[in-house]
Structures are given as structure tokens and as C-alpha cells.
Amino acid sequence: MSLLEIKNLRAAVEGHEILKGVNLTINPGEVHSIMGPNGSGKSTLAQVLARRDTFEVTGGEILYNGKDLLRMKPEEAACEGVFLAFQYPVEIPGIGNAYFLRSAINAIRKYRGEDEMDAMDFLPLFRENLKLLEMDEKLMNRSVNEGFSGGEKKRNEILQMAMLQPKLAILDETDSGLDIDALKIVARGVNALRGPERSMLVITHYQRLLNYIVPDFVHVLVDGQIARSGGPELARELEETGYGWAEPATQQALPA
Amino acid sequence: MATTAKLQNYFEAFNEMEARGEASEPVWLHQLRSEGWASFSANGFPTVRDEDWRFTSLAPLTRTPFRRATAADDLIPGIEALHLSGAACRLVFVNGRFAPGLSATGNLPAGLQVSSLVQALGDKTGGAEQHLGRYVNLRRDAFAALNTALWEDGAYIRIRRGARIEQPVHLLFLSTTGGAPTMTHPRTLIVAEPASQAVIVEDYVSSGNGAAFSNSVTELVAAGDAIVSHYLVERENYDSFNVSTLRIEQARGANVSSHSILLGGGLVRNNVHPVLNGPGAECLINGLFVGAGRQHLDNYMLVEHASPNGSSRQFYNGILDQQARGVFHGRIVVHKDAQKTDAKQTNRNLLLSDDARIDTKPQLEIRADDVKCTHGATIGRIEDEPLFYLRSRGLDERSARNLLLYAFAAECLDRMMEQPARDFVEELIQKRLREIANAEQQASPSSQEARADASPEEVA
């Protein structure tokens, strides 16, 4: 059975339709990449999958692990194993990183009917993942993302992903704002989490990230629909040709 | 307007105090009371036409016929739950009277002297006499005048020169409510001698439902280089009226922190009035007020810089839900000689409902020319972005809201440096915030829908 099955998904924000019939199937263990020009609906798709209610789903369905994802609240989707690495991670002054992470882990465990994780079990795991992402433990005593650099915020997203062990990880433009060293660290963190039990949807504007996280499938989203699909070679092709072929859409729409 | 019908009960109470005092109190104290009464009876209670009371109507207070509380016995069931564990000592006052049986004043750390104020005034060597009533302004402040006329007891705390007392002194003021509305006027005097250090927690609690009126005055005298932290905890029931006045007098280099935590009470007015009366004095005015239902929480800060090189910091955070109302009035007065003053004021508010309301008003009066004064206020709601971020990590909406409320409150908690006082206060704040988050959840329509989703068999 596939892990994620998106069928003819349509979504709008403030009456403006952004996703215009997206079809996508992801099987367990697969890494898919969605590329596309700005404004094509990549981030909207990510947010709908994470169940953000600012987007109104106007048609279609999403089956996740055989369940109706569109009926889930954000926390239910998270507890069912959906994880979104944010394009713009949110700063939350007053809540410590470590405390936040442990609360999240325990909320998910509680949902699954498992025992809470105590500090004794949490700390070694936490330290191991901090090391993987080359993050300073001192940073973790600070508030969530507060005063973090752009790179630190993105690494923190992957750290959370490593701690929460999702079934479906959605990476929304995780490469934006990263220098090459930070990009390598993030990619290493992501690759360490690849496995037969985990699927990934890597959203990016540039091919660069896909040199380090090599996807099984690449899809190009244009104007709210998947225009092309292929293997990793499609990403390289796009690097050379750009999205020019996809962009005159507005011109075509003009009366001749 | 002198003794109108509304003031009749207070007049009777004053007569009772007079009759009792003439026999037992020294002349100077008797005169002080008379002065207080003369001022109060001449001016009566302030009204909303008074600029300092613009946002707070005292009508519900003035129309309630409060009487002096009758003596309560020393047996309060469950009082242990109110204790601050790890305190140096505990003085309990039931309906304004010292309850030695409920207090714990043995084994005091060296340099700490505590007693009831009545006991302290009986002891000529104690030093209470030279300070009591010296700092509050009876003519300008009706509630301080009323307290001065009617106080029956309170705490006296003296920290000897150079003594550093790390454990907090817990002052527990308990109103036993339930019968006819009662009033108490607790009076506290804190004298921190040069280079001494102490933490005082003033804690107002009601035992039972029903209205009571606490009108407390605390004079805190910090001598040169003394370091004092004062905590005010208001956790009375929601029918209560609480007016508290903290008057701080700071000498050269004295460092005083005032932390106000207003969680309970129906109509609350929190007056904090430090006077930096020596060069290089520093003061931190930190507060958190959390209101729901029809609570009205009014914070009136008056920070007076009367000497050069002083610094003051005011930080107040408010969380208001349902029809609660909050007021933050932050007045900074820099006197002519107080050059190089550095004064800062910030008031941040979180409104959780459309009916909640905050009035925030900075007021700067600067008569010196070389000073740094800033102020700022914000009013906001729980934002969507952080809420979604937390939920996307698995926290349910209620927990996520609760965590965000806590984070907002934590800004104030982080300025409270003394343990175990901080933990004590944190626990009370968390409890109150959970109540608020739970009430929020019940009121929100989306959650009702969610409940229906979660248990379809109930619906069927």
C-alpha cells in the first residue's frame, strides 16, 4: 500500500485557487522531490499536507496510510507521522528548545498509547542528534529558534525531524538561505534518516539540494498542477533549462 | 462629601479603633491614625474623574457595606497547602490579625527580625516607630489614608546591617469570607538596613467564597546598598476587592525589585511607588496580571527619580480573557536634580477574547535635562504562526495555547531570580493559565466540532 496518495487536490486561499488538481503517489521509503517556479503552489501543497487551515481544500482527497488526511487536525497528522520542516521556522520566545521537543515527543507517544519519555532516555538521543547536525547544546537551552541564524533554524528543523522520527517528512525549501557547508550538514542529517520506513517529499526551487539528497522521483509543479515527472535526471535538466518553458503561462492566457 | 452614607461603615470602624487605641496606643500613633482619617473623610474615595482612577470605577466597592472582620480562630483547614516551602519564616494574618498559632517564626537566620507590627511597636528598641507612616502620602492617597486610620496589624520585618537572608519571608494574609462582606487593612513595614539582603513574599488568599476588601499598605525602606526583592501575590476569590500599596524608599545604591503577580481578585488595584532617593539606586518593577471572567486588574506605577544616576525598569505583561479588563498606568517622574536617570517602561498585553480590554497609559514627567527615558506598549493576540508550528509537532491545540500563554508569562518569571520564591509563583501562574486555556478550549466552536468528531458513537 502506498503511504501517500494525493488525488486531484485543489486548494485555495482567500478565494484564489492555487492547487488545481494535484496527483501524486508516494510509497514507503521513497524520496520524491517537487520543483517548480515561485508561486506554482509548492509551499501550499506542503502546508495542506501539514493541515494548516489557512488553505481551503476545494476538491480532491489525500489518503495517508489509508486514512483521510484532510479530516485530520495538524496535531493528529503529526501524531500519525507527518512532519513538515518549515521554510520559515517560527521563533517562540519563552519556550526552551529541549522542553519543546520533549513535549512534542510525549504528545505523540501519548497519542499512540505509549509511555512518556523521561529525561534519562531523552538526553542521550538528543545529544546524538545534536552531534549529527553539528549543533551546540547551549543553543538548546535558549528559546525555540530565538536568535538563531538562518542556518541554525534549518538545522533545528532537521533536528526535530530526527527526534520525532516521522513516516512522511516534508522539507519545504530547506535549502533556502543556506551556505554550502550548512547545506551539506542538513543533507547529511536528512540522508541519515532515509530508510525503508520513511518517505520524504523534498520541495525546492533549485537543483542544488538534490545533489546531496538524491531523490527517487522528481516532479515539476507548474501553476498548481504537476506538469512533468521523472527521475533525478529531470532535476539536472531543469538546472540547465530553468523554468522558462513553464512561465509564459500568463502570456498564453492573454487573448491573441 | 465628608461622612456620606457610603463612608458610614468606615466611620464606625474608625470610632472602634479610636476607642481601642486611646487605651493602648502611644500618642504619636493615635495622631497618625487621626491624620489618616481626617484626610480620608475629607476627600472620600477617588472617582473616575480623578486622572489616576480614570479607568477604574470604585462604585462596586463603595456601594458594598464592608465591616471590620470579627476575630477568626487559629484553625484554618488546609492551610498547609498555602505554605511556601523553604521559607525562612511565615507570618500568617487571618482577617488582618496576627495568628501566631498558624505562623512559624522560630529558628530565624541571624540578622533577620520578624514580628507582628503591633508587637514591634510595643518594643521600643525595634526601630519600627521611626519609619511607620513616614513614606506614604496621606493627603494624596485615599487608600493609604484609610489604611493608616484603620489598620489593626501586619508584619514588621527588619534585616540587620550586612545580613544576607536568602530564604524568603512569607507573609500570608488570609480573609475568611462567606458571611457579610468584611474589610481588613493590613499594614506592613520592611526595614532593610545598609548592605542587607532579603526576599519578602506578600501573599493574599481568601478562604471561602464571598466578598472581602483587603486594603494593604507596605512601606519598604531600603538603606544604602541594600538588595530587596518583594513579591506580591494576589490569589483571592473573584468576589474580592484588593487594593495594595507598596511604597518603596531607596537610599544610595539600594537595589529593589518589585514583582506583582495578580491572578485572583475581582476588583484589584496594585499601586507600586518607589522613590529613588539616593544616587545610583536601581529598581525593577516587574509584573504579570492574568484576568478572566469579569476581573478588573488595575496597575498603577509611580516611579520617582529624586537623585542622580538612578535606573528603573518597568516590565508588565497582561493576559486578559472573556470580559476581563486590565489597566497599566506607568508614571515616571524625574525630579530636577536626578540627572543621568535611566528609566525604561514596557507593557505587553495579550487579549484572548473580543470582550477583553486593556487600557495602557505611559506618563513621563521629566524635569531634569540629561536623562534617558523610554516607554512602549503592545497589545496582541495569540498568533497563528506559532500556534500552527507547535501543533504541527504534535501538541494539541489546548496544550499549544497553554504553552504560548506560559511563554508570554515566562518573560516576567525570567526576571524573578530568587528560589524558592520563583518556583512558588511559577506553580500558581501555571495553574491559573491552565484554567484559562481550558476555559478557552470549551468556548471555541472548532473544539466542539472536534469533540463530535472524536466520539461519533455519542452523537449517534
φ/ψ of A196, rounded to 5, equals: -65, -20
Read off the C-alpha cell for B217. Answer: 499598605
How far B146 CA sits from the closest chain A CA (Å)? 41
Instruction: Using pLDDT thresholds of 50, 70 and 90, give the confidence band for residue B140.
Output: very high
Please determine, for residue A218, whether its predicted confidence score (pLDDT) is greater than 80.
Answer: yes
- Report which secondary-structure segment, H or E, holds B360: strand B357-366
Does B407 reach chain A within 8 Å, measured CB to CB? yes
Interface residue B285 vs chain A (CB under 8 A): no
B456 touches chain A (CB under 8 A): no
B122 pLDDT tier (thresholds 50, 70, 90): confident
Confidence of residue A227 (pLDDT cuts 50, 70, 90): very high
- pLDDT bracket for residue B132 (50, 70, 90): very high
The residue behind cell 501575590 is B233
Chain A contacts to B (CB-CB under 8 A): 50-52, 54, 71, 73-75, 77-79, 83-84, 86, 89-90, 92-95, 100, 103-105, 107-108, 111, 143, 160, 164
Task: Judge: A100–B393 Cβ closer than 8 Å, yes or no.
Answer: yes
Residue A252, burial from CB neighbour count under 10 angstroms (0-12, 13-18, 19+): exposed
Instruction: Provide the pLDDT confidence category of residue B443 given band limits of 50, 70 and 90.
Output: low
pLDDT of residue B447: 39
Cell numbers describing residue B6: 457610603
Question: Which residues have C-beta within 8 Å of that of residue A189, sequence separation ≥ 6?
Answer: A132, A133, A155, A158, A159, A161, A162
Q: How far is A170 from chain B (nearest CA, A)?
A: 12
Decide if A152 contacts A108 (C-beta within 8 A). Answer: no
How far is the alpha carbon of A236 from chain B, nearest alpha carbon, in Å? 32
Q: In the structure, what pLDDT confidence band is assigned to residue B454 with cuts at 50, 70 and 90? A: very low
Minimum CA–CA partner of A51 in chain B: B392
Q: Which three cell numbers stand for residue B240?
A: 474580592
Closest in B392, B400, B407 to A94, CB measured = B407
8 A C-beta contact, residue B405 and residue B433: yes
Residues of B whose CB is below 8 A from A104:
390, 393-395
pLDDT, mean of residues B408-413: 93
**Average pLDDT over chain B, rounded to an integer:** 91
Q: What band does B20 get if pLDDT is binned at 50, 70 and 90? A: confident
Predicted pLDDT of residue B19: 84
Query: Is A84's CB within 8 Å of B392's CB?
Result: yes
State the ipTM, two decimals: 0.94
Smallest Cα distance from B257 to chain A, Å? 21
Distance CA B13, CA B214 (A): 14
With CA atoms as reference, report the closest residue to A148 among A163, A165, A133. Answer: A133
Mutate to test the interface with B, among A43, A75, A101, A145 (most CBs of B within 10 A): A75
For residue B459, report the phi and psi dihedrals to the nearest 5 degrees: -70, -40
Partner residue opposite B389 with nearest CB, options A90, A105, A108 = A90
Listed in sequence order, the residues at least 6 apart from A155 whose beta carbon sits closer than 8 Å to its beta carbon are A133, A134, A135, A182, A185, A186, A189
Residue B118 has pLDDT above 60, yes or no: yes
State pLDDT tens for residues A170-200: 999 999 888 999 999 999 999 999 999 999 9
Assign B452 a pLDDT band (cuts: 50, 70, 90). Answer: very low
Q: What is the pLDDT of residue A94?
A: 86
**Residue-wise over B405-421: b if at least 16 C-beta within 10 A, else e?**
bbbbbbbbbebbebebb
Query: Of all residues in chain B, what percent carry a pLDDT higher than 90?
Result: 82
Contact B316, B330 (CB under 8 A): yes
Beta strand pairing call for A67-68 and B112-116: unpaired
Confidence category of residue A237, pLDDT binned at 50, 70, 90: confident
Contacts of A100 in chain B (CB under 8 A): 390, 393, 403
Least Cα separation, residue A154 to chain B (angstroms): 14
Contact B232, B214 (CB under 8 A): no
**Pairing status of strand B89-94 against strand B169-176:** parallel
- Cβ atoms of B2 and B39 closer than 8 Å: no
What pLDDT score does B17 carry? 86
With a cut of 50, say whether residue B3 has pLDDT above it: no
Q: CB B393 to CB A78 under 8 A?
A: yes
State the pLDDT confidence band at B74, using cuts at 50, 70 and 90.
low
- The DSSP element (H or E) to which A75 belongs, if any, is helix A74-79
Least confident of A54-68, B2-16, B167-181, B390-404: B2-16
Per-residue model confidence as pLDDT tens digits over A50-67 = 999 999 999 999 999 999
Q: What average pLDDT does this structure show over A70-78?
A: 97
Predicted local distance difference test score (pLDDT) of residue B1: 43
Nearest Cβ partner of B394 from A52, A71, A79? Answer: A79
Per-residue model confidence (pLDDT) at position B450: 35
Inter-chain CB proximity A107 and B396 less than 8 Å: yes
Residue B455 clears pLDDT 60, i.e. is over it: no
Q: Which residues of A touch B380 (CB under 8 A)?
A: none
The residues near B185 (Cβ < 8 Å, ≥ 6 apart) are B96, B146, B147, B150, B151, B152, B214, B215, B216, B217
Does residue B73 carry a pLDDT above 50?
yes
Instruction: Give the nearest chain A residue to B391 (CA atoms).
Output: A75
Subunit contact B396:A78, Cβ cutoff 8 A: no
- Contact between B347 and B380 under an 8 Å Cβ cutoff? The reply is no
CA-to-CA separations, B191 to B96, B112, B277, B424, in angstroms, rounded: 20, 10, 15, 24
| Binary contact (A75, B403; C-beta < 8 A) | no
Q: To the nearest whole percent, how much of chain B has pLDDT over 70?
A: 93
Q: What is the pLDDT of residues B218-264, one digit of tens each?
A: 999 999 999 999 999 999 999 999 999 999 999 999 999 999 999 99
Closest alpha carbon to B103 in B128, B78, B83:
B83
Q: Give the count of beta carbons closer than 10 Å to the beta carbon of residue A179.
A: 9
Report yes or no: B428 and B263 within 8 Å, Cβ to Cβ. yes
A84 vs B contacts (CB less than 8 Å): 392
Contacts of A103 in chain B (CB under 8 A): 395, 399, 403
Shortest Cα distance, chain A CAs vs residue B389, angstroms: 7
CB contact (8 A) between residue B411 and residue A78: no
Average pLDDT of span B284-310: 97
pLDDT at B448 > cutoff 60:
no
Q: What is the pLDDT of residues B318-356, one digit of tens each?
A: 999 999 999 999 999 999 999 999 999 999 999 999 999
Average the pLDDT over each of A237-241, B89-93, B285-289 and give the range with the smallest value. Answer: A237-241
